[in-house]
Structure 1
Amino acid sequence: MEGEPPYFFDRGENEFPGLTVTRDCDTAVLEVTVHGRWSRRMGLDVYNLLRRCLAEHPPAIVVDLSGLNDPDAASANMWLAAARAAASLRPPAQLVAGIPPARQLAGRLRSLGAVHQLPLFATAWQARAAVATRLPQTERLHLSPLPPERSSVAAAGDLVVAACDAWGLPAIAAPGRMVMAELAANAVDHARTDLAVTVLRRGAGLYLSVRDGDPRLPRLVQPDEPVRRRPAGRDRGLWTVHRRASAWGARPARGGKVVWAVMRPHRSAPR
């Protein structure tokens, strides 16, 4: 529907063959690993996957191209376009790539001036290390572990308010607290495992995430779909997140999943 925020439920490795995404839960940095021969099909999958990654507005994306078979360097323009898209975010996200320097693709990227838009490193490990040194250390709040109890829902919401007070973001405090509380409440009610909640500053906005130990991804129930009665105070379910976040989604994580939301001031008003 027009005006609705994008939401993405990443189903894991089977959704995009040859592509995997991992997320550092401490820094929200995403790493995309590419395996196999480049083709038009893979190009479409890369486009869709990177679109999802950018909607999450991470501080950085590391692309591991060491397993990509692209002898004709046909994917070069895709990676440059992705780097420009990441740089256009406000605040910008950094896209860096790990690729052996002798590869044809590496040479093609260098000849196109990629070093000014897409930093290249010989390995993904070097790319991760370079990104880590550039991440701000004062714009992140984290609570872990939190028990699967209602008190943890309140603690997660309070963390958002504390972040907004510290970073001067009063317009996001109330809707951000509501969204974080809904994410945490869903984890408490359905995952019933310990939680880890994180708040990151993204310019004038916030990135919120809740990690739990249940690999099952949530599902956005349509308004006309019959549902069982929800616990008191949560009758709107994930629609609270959907209506107030600029973007949101869920992705598998090692030992469970991460559900995230991006809050920006222009989405803060109730509808």
Structure 2
Amino acid sequence: MTALERLGPLPATTGAPYLVTTGVDRRAVAVEVTADASVTVVEMTVHGRWSEQLGGQVADAVRLCLAGPTRAIIIDLRDVGDLHGSSLPFWAAAARSARLAPIPARLALCLPPGTMLDHRLRHTEAGVPRAFPTMAEARIVLAGPLVRTHRRMQGRLPAHPRSVRAARDLVARACQAWQLNRIRHDAALVMSELAANAVEHAGTDAVATVVGDGSRLHLAVRDGDTRYPRFTERKSGQLGRSLGERGRGLRLVHAVAVAWGAMPARGGKVVWATVSPQTGPALGAGLDSREPGDAGPPGGVPTGTG
């Protein structure tokens, strides 16, 4: 499969979790991905000489990002060798994939002015991503409007069991403010598990984010541990029984969320999940999430609302 073909939609058989990892070649890191705390904005840094192999790695990373709530992808190409600008068709296809994703996203490139790729991008009338000379300029243009226009609530979570309740309360406030009570239970259940995973396994302070998108909620928890959560799906026929017995962990997230995954973040990672009415009637109903923080007041500190 060519790099262009790999930019197509993820097959339905791929399924969650969507785990974005660092791409490497025989010599060094080739593709690095860094998400913000909400996974709304993702930055990607590409290294090396442009080739079919490198394009394939970028395509895989872009597709995994588009499986989640990402609205903007900024790709740093300042360390990519492309003397003749031959990667232009790839970037046009990548921009199209982003526009046509289930959650449409904008894609922008950062590259030195005066290169052949920069020249070709600026002289192509339509269908190609916008080019910026610096990452800072790209962030202002792409990320700024998202922060101002999206419904968003965010809270800091200390590395303490009480933070699980605080994260759940954050979801409850968001659902009440945005009239999303239909998915309140499932969303709170999923957020509880994401927060508990950060408290128990990362052991660092974290940031919980809730973003409203129509009838959906995008949930994310950023912590200071780079290790990804481990997930092993139960065999067919065992899931219902195991959920009834445990009502715990990432298997519950897998069952309740329409999609979930993880991305690298600066100094850690972000684990995200999307909850929608289409997940079914209260899949988590009757199941108790982990509540190690039930003894005592909420531990999170709200830092913003949308």
Structure 2 unaligned blocks of 5 or more:
1-10, 236-241, 285-306
| 2:149 aligned with 1:159 | no
Give the Cα–Cα distance (whole angstroms) in 2 for the partners of residues 195 and 128 of structure 1.
23
Structure 1 unaligned blocks of 5 or more:
225-229
Give the Cα–Cα distance (whole angstroms) in 2 for the partners of residues 247 and 142 of structure 1.
20
* Residue matched to 2:111: 99
Amino acid at match of 1:87: R
Pairing partner for 1:19 from 26, 31, 38? 31
Instruction: Give 1:245 deviation, angstroms.
Output: 1.6
**Is the 1:98–1:125 contact (alpha carbons within 8 Å) kept by the matching residues of 2?**
no
Instruction: Give 1:111 deviation, angstroms.
Output: 3.3
* Residue matched to 1:227: none
Instruction: Give 1:81 deviation, angstroms.
Output: 1.6
Give the Cα–Cα distance (whole angstroms) in 1 for the partners of residues 101 and 174 of structure 2.
21
Pairing partner for 1:247 from 239, 249, 259? 259
Q: TM-score, normalised by structure 2?
A: 0.77
* Residue matched to 1:198: 209
**Is the 1:64–1:98 contact (alpha carbons within 8 Å) kept by the matching residues of 2?**
yes
Q: Deviations over 1:187-231 (max 9, x none)?
A: 22222222211111233322211122222211112325xxxxx9x
Give the Cα–Cα distance (whole angstroms) in 1 for the partners of residues 115 and 209 of structure 2.
38
Pairing partner for 1:7 from 10, 14, 17? 17
* Residue matched to 1:80: 92
Match of 1:216, SS state, is coil
Give the Cα–Cα distance (whole angstroms) in 2 for the partners of residues 43 and 4 of structure 1.
20
Give the Cα–Cα distance (whole angstroms) in 2 for the partners of residues 129 and 245 of structure 1.
31
Instruction: Give 1:26 deviation, angstroms.
Output: 5.9
Deviates more, 1:177-186 or 1:77-86: 77-86
Give the Cα–Cα distance (whole angstroms) in 2 for the partners of residues 74 and 207 of structure 1.
37
> Structure 1 residues 193, 233: CA separation in 2 closer, same or farther (over 3 Å shift)?
farther
* Residue matched to 1:210: 221
Instruction: Give 1:104 deviation, angstroms.
Output: 1.1
**Is the 1:171–1:268 contact (alpha carbons within 8 Å) kept by the matching residues of 2?**
no
Match of 2:168, SS state, is helix
**Cα RMSD for the two superposed structures:** 2.9
User: Structure 1 residue runs of 4+, over 6 Å off?
Assistant: 1-4
Match of 1:241, SS state, is helix
Give the Cα–Cα distance (whole angstroms) in 2 for the partners of residues 4 and 166 of structure 1.
34
Q: Deviations over 1:106-159 (max 9, x none)?
A: 222233324x6522212222111212331243511111133321x211221221
How many residues were matched structurally? 265
Pairing partner for 2:181 from 136, 156, 170? 170
Match of 1:259, SS state, is strand
Give the Cα–Cα distance (whole angstroms) in 2 for the partners of residues 120 and 17 of structure 1.
23
Match of 2:29, SS state, is coil
> Structure 1 residues 75, 168: CA separation in 2 closer, same or farther (over 3 Å shift)?
farther
* Residue matched to 1:265: 277
Deviates more, 1:57-66 or 1:18-27: 18-27
Q: Percent identity?
A: 41
Q: Deviations over 1:70-127 (max 9, x none)?
A: 123222122112212222235522111112231111222233324x652221222211
Deviates more, 1:164-173 or 1:51-60: 164-173
Give the Cα–Cα distance (whole angstroms) in 1 for the partners of residues 182 and 101 of structure 2.
20
Amino acid at match of 1:196: V
Pairing partner for 1:53 from 53, 61, 65? 65
Q: Which has the higher contact order (CA 8 A, sep 6+)?
A: 2
